[in-house]
Structure 1
């Protein structure tokens, strides 16, 4: 299934297919941002499985670079899926996820139902 633009809780969301191309560089993140922007998305729901493992190792700075690209282009990034193994391995990542989820630019949610609830609550 390709990435699909959907209306979720009244918000235009690009729901990315888990089998799509991995986001392993800032260039691939920019490609995703371009596709989302072209389609009119406000939110990109990206499966955690499409993110290169370096995203979850904060010392690589990849997560910060990707997150900043989304902020710069005024798109909300939502990482969807189970990242509990990554969280168990890194206190810094746990802090980043907790802080991100307190704000509106980048969220980490377990599934699309949690995204829908979060979008509905933020309207």
Structure 2
């Protein structure tokens, strides 16, 4: 089951996805969620890493790139919240670091951090 918490900050409609299980198992799942929220008028999406398959974070399989490209195509900002400080994979650590230098896709610790980043 999934619920959407709506946040409106500086006229930006932000959807915070709240769930009890993994929602995104495949790129098609990501596209379905993205399209659903996009057509509801959301500009930005916050989702916890626990709601995304662990395969997303194994960069060698290309799933992260495929999913994140969909967000770029729709021009919807995404923040994945979770524990990224203790990442041991160098490639994932570099990916998170490079993503966080931009504004479109970010990996942050908390919903409060995400809301602050998305409100700019």
2:28 corresponds in structure 1 to 27
In angstroms, what is the RMSD of aligned CA positions?
1.7
Q: Structure 1 CA distance, aligned partners of 2:14 and 2:21?
A: 16
**Runs ≥4 in structure 1, deviation > 6 angstroms?**
none
Q: Structure 2 CA distance, aligned partners of 1:38 and 1:4?
A: 16
Q: Structure 1 CA distance, aligned partners of 2:51 and 2:74?
A: 20
Give the paired residue count: 119
- By percentage of residues, which structure has more strand? 2
1:115 corresponds in structure 2 to 114
- By percentage of residues, which structure has more helix? 1
**Uncovered stretches (5+) of structure 1, i.e. residues with no partner:** none
How far the C-alpha of 1:10 sits from its partner, in A, is 3.9
Q: Secondary structure at the match of 1:45?
A: strand
1:44 corresponds in structure 2 to 45
Report Cα offsets for 1:74-115 as digits up to 9, x if no partner: 111110122345x22x10011111110111110011111111
**Uncovered stretches (5+) of structure 2, i.e. residues with no partner:** none
TM-score, normalised via structure 1 length: 0.87
How far the C-alpha of 1:20 sits from its partner, in A, is 5.4
TM-score, normalised via structure 2 length: 0.89
Q: Structure 1 CA distance, aligned partners of 2:74 and 2:90?
A: 28
2:3 corresponds in structure 1 to 2
Q: Secondary structure at the match of 1:14?
A: strand
Report Cα offsets for 1:38-93 as digits up to 9, x if no partner: 111111101110110001100111111111110011111110122345x22x1001
